[in-house]
Amino acid sequence: MSLLLLIVQTLNGLQFGVLLFLIAAGLTLVFGVMDFINLAHGVQYMLGAYLAVMFYALTGSFLAALVLALIASLAFGLLLEFTIFRKLYDRDHLEQVIATFGIILFLNEGVKVVWGASPLSLPVPEALSGSVVLMPGLLYPVWRIVIIVAGLAVALLLYGLVTWTRVGMLVRAGASNARMVSVLGIDIRRLFMIVFGFGTMLAGFAGIMIAPILSVQPGMGDTVLILAFVVIVIGGIGSIRGAFLAALLIGLVDTLGRSFAVDILRLFMAPSPARTVGPALASMLIYLLMALVLYVRPAGLFPAKGRG
């Protein structure tokens, strides 16, 4: 367990956490403001990655692919909102879960039909490929640093939007009591659409940014979706700040747990059981964390909803 490895894994954890934040931010707002459980949020992330691959093949430029894929993600999200989700806002959570589960099934299969079942890849943009030396002996890929910086920038932007703009104020008000906002004469449906579109775009952005590192394949959104839910539940539903802190926490705990669980267990265990128990414990760590947080604080760390 060298110091260098620790630093590299901490950076990886940070990068993972930032990615989770991009996905969770939209999810927590949609959930907090509209009281809508959108399981299909994960496939928006997958779709972002696929669209980026497609537009890259068409244009040959990463930047063009990024912009076009963002626009297409937004358009697709709004289309879904307009045709299906709008009818689900008044339904109970269970019905929302089932309907959006249906959309997951459809889109996971749909990308298989359109782009094939085998994984695709997106090259890292030429100028940002390769690694930089952060410390003597410590090489780190530039693209991962780009993801971290982009994620932190989005977090700052969101913070600014939510704190200082009128729409942000309405979003905060909506998260704590949507009905009251509506009663005060705000067109809540339009607010919903803005929030939803923005959230979709963020998930798409996450998919585009991660595409050069991961393989783009059907079902890639499912695991991330569950993790994003863990994040927003730990952070408190509807809270951007909570989502940010919880995302970094989950990213770090998961990444560090996976790399060091076996080593740590070996300190007080025989090596062979440590090798079996370690990986399982590492996979479980974030769920243990979530159960613990909910046990102590049943509404997450930073609940946005007012009492009642």
Among 108, 217, 239, 255, interactor with another protein by CB under 8 A:
108
Give the shortest CB-80-to-another protein separation in angstroms: 10
- Say whether residue 250 binds another protein (CB under 8 A): no
Closest CB to another protein among residues 252, 281: 281
Closest CB to another protein among residues 147, 217: 217
Among 60, 137, 185, 298, interactor with another protein by CB under 8 A:
298
Closest CB to another protein among residues 84, 145: 84
Give the shortest CB-29-to-another protein separation in angstroms: 15
- Say whether residue 288 binds another protein (CB under 8 A): yes
3-state SS, one letter per residue, for the chain: CCHHHHHHHHHHHHHHHHHHHHHHHHHHHHHHHHCCCCCCHHHHHHHHHHHHHHHHHHHCCHHHHHHHHHHHHHHHHHHHHHHCHHHCCCCCHHHHHHHHHHHHHHHHHHHHHHHCCCCECCCCCHHHCCEEEEECCEEEEHHHHHHHHHHHHHHHHHHHHHHHCHHHHHHHHHHHHHHHHHHCCCCHHHHHHHHHHHHHHHHHHHHHHHCCCCCECCCHHHHHHHHHHHHHHHHCCCCHHHHHHHHHHHHHHHHHHHHHHHHHHHCCCCHHHHHHHHHHHHHHHHHHHHHHHHHHCCCCCCCCCCCC
Query: Near another protein by CB under 8 A, which window of 53-61, 144-152, 225-233, 260-268?
Result: 225-233
Q: Distance of CA 286 to CAs 22, 24, 204, 248, 282, Å?
A: 18, 15, 24, 12, 8
Only one residue has tokens 């995302």, namely: 247
- Say whether residue 82 binds another protein (CB under 8 A): no
CB 126 within 8 A of CB 134: no
- Say whether residue 102 binds another protein (CB under 8 A): yes
- Say whether residue 266 binds another protein (CB under 8 A): no
- Say whether residue 247 binds another protein (CB under 8 A): no
Closest CB to another protein among residues 112, 152: 112
Total Cβ atoms within 10 A of residue 295: 8
Among 4, 75, 106, 184, interactor with another protein by CB under 8 A:
106
- Say whether residue 103 binds another protein (CB under 8 A): yes
Give the shortest CB-37-to-another protein separation in angstroms: 7
What's the CA gap between 65 and 59, in Å, rounded? 7
Closest CB to another protein among residues 87, 166: 87
Give the shortest CB-34-to-another protein separation in angstroms: 13
| Structure-token pair, residue 154 | 């989005």
Closest CB to another protein among residues 94, 127: 94
- Say whether residue 263 binds another protein (CB under 8 A): no
Among 16, 229, 244, 302, interactor with another protein by CB under 8 A:
229
- Say whether residue 24 binds another protein (CB under 8 A): no
- Say whether residue 179 binds another protein (CB under 8 A): no
Residues that bind another protein (CB under 8 A): 31, 37, 84, 87-88, 91, 93-95, 97-99, 101-110, 112-113, 222, 226, 229-230, 233, 237, 276-277, 279-280, 283-284, 287-288, 290-291, 294-295, 298-300
